[in-house]
């Protein structure tokens, strides 16, 4: 069965790489979720390509979601194997996890188990070495600290090659794990080995110090290159993804808007958009007439000359999709260019139902701007619209939540007027539960109790019931709670993950934990409290983030990220 599934997946792909294992360093690149999710992730594509571009290394992929509807690719003994060659993971020098979402952390333990490896890092000897990277890892790696030998944090262009050079040399001369981790911690920017640090706590359970052992740095600074090379693009094309046969092309990194809930807007400062001509050239080079191009960036709507870029790609016969739109950046020209490029569904993210709460999160959108954007898209004949909101935001009231319903109804009214009897399409309202993220102004905030989140979602579900042409979807609060635990917890949360893995019951594991998960999830942090991710230095200064938190609580706007040549407000560009 595994051979047939491997053959089916590879047979549908264009661009996969199969090398002789004797080429050099062998890396098993693991995405702890479904094949569809992995192949929709541009970062996963990029790392796969970076490794396979080397003449002395290879990367093969493996996937595991934990979803019983998704069969993992395993051998006759139930061991997870790679897609390209069907080898078991312990035949590789390096097992490398790409972590984009905290809720995938439990799958890491399942994958190590399926590989026949001890789960606890200190219980493994020799090779393969187990490492992890990706945005979820460099926000807060601590819940996985007991299981991962090392984390490669930051952007791969800056540190992947020197990391691989050291690992290859160490593996081929049989260096010990301890020696290799020490070399990596000393010589590779952004490498973090959890075993090199001692965590201490006070009698209230708060983290009081992170002490490096001899030879390990006092802080870890994940690198973010000031200038980006050419835009990233999908390395493999397949119809079996979330974006079937679409070629994803990077439009830039970071976001200038400064929304206080968004890690990308602070960790990736300053924003680095690609020039539109380079995006055009990359998209044209990687695609042919009739292909779909997906432009990916946290701030794709702010890209200079975006309307010109989309119009050019449409004229060349490419169908264009954007990861999201900013309501106050949408123009009639851009809307028409998107329609000409075959856009079937556009996404707007008001995030909150009232102007006051949008000020709290520094979204800065007036209601008229949201309505105008919906109107422009309808006039341009883009048929479907997705609207994203959150519940559980800091200072949120029940009235803020109730106001989401009339706001959406006004959006529907504007669409009906603009469509003038034409087919209306579908409006999808998607509501997620706010999870405070590290390195943002809201990292001090607590997560809202699940009972209150359920009440808020029930109000919205009732308010949208029976509205023709509208679909409502929402988070499950209990899983948002788990995400908050993994986003905000320290390495003691690893004990909960281990218990949940052994019992198969995360709820039971949390209830039996000697440290109440509410301590990590619901509690508002004190101003000077040491965060679990305190070993890392990245993004905006802590004092700046605290000031932004206070401005948010007071519903005061901030200007966002300015020109790095003239601004040093957040400390990144000093």
Interior/surface letters 192-216, b for 16+ CB within 10 angstroms, e for the rest: bbbbbbebeeeeeeebeebebeeeb
Confidence of residue 564 (pLDDT cuts 50, 70, 90): low
Residue position matching structure tokens 């333990």: 109
Query: Structure pTM?
Result: 0.94
**pLDDT tens-digit series, residues 223-252:** 999 889 899 999 999 988 777 778 999 999
Predicted pLDDT at 539: 81
The DSSP secondary-structure symbol of 267 reads H
Q: Residue 86, exposed/middle/buried by CB under 10 A (0-12, 13-18, 19+)?
A: middle
Burial 359-376 (b: 16+ CB within 10 A, else e): bbbbbbbebebbbebbbb
pLDDT class of 506 with cuts at 50, 70, 90: very high
Out of 3.40.50, 1.10.287, 1.10.10, 1.20.81, select the CATH number for domain 2-212: 3.40.50
C-alpha torsion 117→120→126→129, nearest 10: 80
Contact indicator for 182, 216 with CB cutoff of 8 Å: yes
pLDDT of residue 561: 84
- The predicted model gives 3-24 an average pLDDT of 91
- Read off the pLDDT of each residue in 135-153 and give the average, rounded to a whole number: 97
456 near 391, Cβ under 8 Å? yes
Domain ranges of the chain: 2-212, 246-488+540-553
The CATH architecture that domain 246-488+540-553 belongs to is Alpha-Beta Barrel (3.20)
Dist CA 385 CA 345 (whole Å): 5
Confidence of residue 66 (pLDDT cuts 50, 70, 90): confident
Per-residue tokens: 160? 């992947």
**Residue 1: pLDDT over 60:** no
If one counts every other C-beta atom within 10 angstroms of the C-beta of residue 515, the result is 16
**pLDDT confidence band for 342 (50 / 70 / 90):** confident
Give the pLDDT band of residue 571 (cuts 50, 70, 90).
Answer: confident
**Closest-CA residue to 360 (of 431, 259, 506):** 259
The reported pLDDT for the residue numbered 563 is 67
What pLDDT is attached to residue 339? 86
Q: Backbone phi, then psi, for 263, in 5-degree steps?
A: -65, -35
For residue 573, the model assigns a pLDDT of: 84
pLDDT, tens digit, 9 for 90 and up, residues 252-304 = 999 999 999 999 999 998 999 999 999 999 999 999 888 899 999 998 988 99
* pLDDT over 90, % of the chain: 78
Flag whether pLDDT at 566 surpasses 70.
Answer: no
Residue 225 and residue 140: Cα distance in Å, rounded? 20
Which tens digits make up the pLDDT trace of 108-131?
999 999 899 999 999 998 899 999
573 within 8 A of 272, measured Cβ to Cβ: no
Residue 568: what pLDDT? 66
Give the DSSP H or E segment for 231. none
pLDDT at 411: 96
pLDDT of residue 419 exceeding 90, the answer is: no
Q: Strand 25-31 and strand 94-98: pairing?
A: parallel
Measured CA to CA, the distance from residue 368 to residue 370 in angstroms comes to 5
Q: Write the Ramachandran bin of 120: left for phi over 0, alpha for psi from -120 to 50, otherwise beta.
A: beta
Average confidence (pLDDT) over 166-176: 95
pLDDT band at 178 (very low <50, low <70, confident <90, very high): very high
Burial 173-191 (b: 16+ CB within 10 A, else e): eebebeebbbbbbeebbbb
């Amino acid at each position: 069965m595994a051979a047939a599934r491997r053959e089916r997946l590879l047979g549908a792909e264009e661009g996969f790489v199969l090398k002789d294992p004797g080429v050099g360093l062998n890396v098993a690149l693991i995405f702890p979720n479904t094949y569809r999710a992995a192949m929709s992730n541009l970062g996963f594509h990029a790392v796969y390509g970076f490794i396979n571009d080397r003449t002395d290394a290879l990367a093969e992929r493996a996937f595991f979601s934990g979803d019983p509807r998704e069969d993992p690719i395993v051998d006759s003994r139930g061991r997870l194997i790679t897609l390209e060659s069907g080898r078991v993971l312990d035949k590789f020098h390096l097992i490398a996890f790409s972590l984009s979402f905290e809720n995938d952390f439990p799958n890491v333990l399942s994958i190590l188990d399926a590989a026949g490896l001890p789960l606890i890092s200190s219980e493994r000897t020799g090779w393969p070495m187990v490492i992890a990277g990706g945005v979820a890892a460099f926000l807060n790696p601590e819940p996985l600290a007991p299981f991962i030998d090392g984390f490669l944090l930051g952007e791969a262009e800056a540190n992947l090659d020197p990391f691989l050079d050291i690992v290859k040399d160490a593996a081929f001369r049989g260096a010990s794990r301890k020696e290799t981790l020490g070399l990596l911690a000393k010589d590779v920017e952004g490498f973090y080995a959890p075993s090199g640090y001692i965590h201490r706590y006070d009698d209230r359970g708060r983290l009081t110090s992170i002490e490096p052992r001899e030879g390990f740095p006092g802080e870890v600074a994940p690198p973010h290159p000031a200038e980006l090379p050419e835009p990233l693009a999908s390395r493999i094309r397949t119809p079996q993804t979330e974006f079937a046969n679409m070629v994803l092309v990077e439009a830039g990194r970071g976001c200038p808007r400064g929304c206080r809930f968004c890690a990308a807007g602070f960790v990736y400062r300053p924003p680095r958009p690609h020039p539109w001509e380079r995006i055009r050239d990359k998209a044209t080079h990687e695609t042919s007439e009739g292909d779909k191009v997906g432009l990916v960036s946290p701030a794709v709507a702010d890209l200079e000359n975006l309307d010109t870029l989309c119009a050019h790609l449409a004229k060349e016969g490419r169908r264009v999709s954007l990861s999201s739109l900013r309501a106050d950046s949408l123009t009639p020209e851009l809307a028409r260019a998107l329609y000409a490029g075959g856009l079937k569904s556009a996404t707007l993210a008001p995030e909150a139902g009232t102007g006051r709460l949008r000020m709290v999160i520094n979204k800065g959108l007036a209601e008229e701007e949201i309505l105008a954007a919906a109107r422009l898209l309808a006039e341009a004949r883009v048929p479907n619209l997705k609207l994203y909101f959150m519940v559980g935001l800091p200072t949120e009231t029940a009235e803020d939540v109730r106001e989401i319903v009339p706001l959406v109804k006004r959006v529907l009214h504007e669409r009906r007027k603009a469509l003038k009897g034409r087919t209306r399409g579908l409006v999808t309202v998607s509501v997620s539960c706010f999870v405070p993220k590290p390195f943002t102004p809201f990292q001090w905030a607590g997560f809202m109790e699940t009972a209150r989140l359920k009440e808020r979602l029930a109000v919205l579900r009732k308010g949208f019931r029976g509205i023709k042409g509208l679909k409502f979807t929402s988070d499950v609060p209990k899983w948002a709670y788990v995400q908050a635990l993994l986003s905000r917890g320290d390495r003691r949360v690893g004990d909960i993950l281990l218990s949940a893995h052994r019992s198969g019951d995360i709820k039971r594991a949390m209830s039996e934990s000697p440290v109440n998960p509410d301590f990590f999830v619901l509690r508002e942090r004190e101003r000077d409290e040491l965060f679990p991710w305190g070993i890392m230095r990245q993004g905006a200064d802590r004092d700046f983030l605290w000031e932004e938190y206070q401005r948010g609580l007071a519903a005061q706007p901030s200007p966002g990220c300015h020109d790095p040549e003239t601004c040093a407000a957040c400390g990144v560009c000093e």
